Amino acid sequence: MRSKFDEQLTTLYNSLIEMGGFVEQAIADANKALVNQDIALAKKTIAFDDEIDRKEKEIEILCLRLILLQHPVASDLRLVSAGLKIITDLERIGDHASDLSAIAISLAGKPYIKELVHIPQMATATMKMVTESIDAFVKKDLELAGQVIAYDDVVDNLFNEVKNDLIGLIKENSDNGDQAMDLLMVAKYFERIGDHATNVAEWVVFSLTGTHKDSKIM
pLDDT digits (tens, 9 = 90+) for 30-43: 999 999 999 999 99
Q: Indicate if the pLDDT at residue 127 is higher than 60.
A: yes
Query: What domains, with CATH codes, occur in the chain?
Result: 2-216 (1.20.58.220)
Q: Indicate if the pLDDT at residue 73 is higher than 90.
A: no
Q: Indicate if the pLDDT at residue 4 is higher than 90.
A: no
Choose between 63 and 74: higher pLDDT: 63
Sign of CA dihedral 96, 97, 101, 104: positive
d(CA 104, CA 31): 8
Residue 137 CA: distances (Å) to CA of 45, 61, 115, 195:
26, 19, 37, 17
Query: pLDDT band for position 146 (50/70/90)?
Result: very high
d(CA 79, CA 207): 5
Q: Indicate if the pLDDT at residue 185 is higher than 60.
A: yes
Taking all residues of the chain, what is their mean pLDDT, rounded to a whole number?
95
Q: What percent of the chain has pLDDT over 90?
A: 89
What pTM does this model have?
0.94
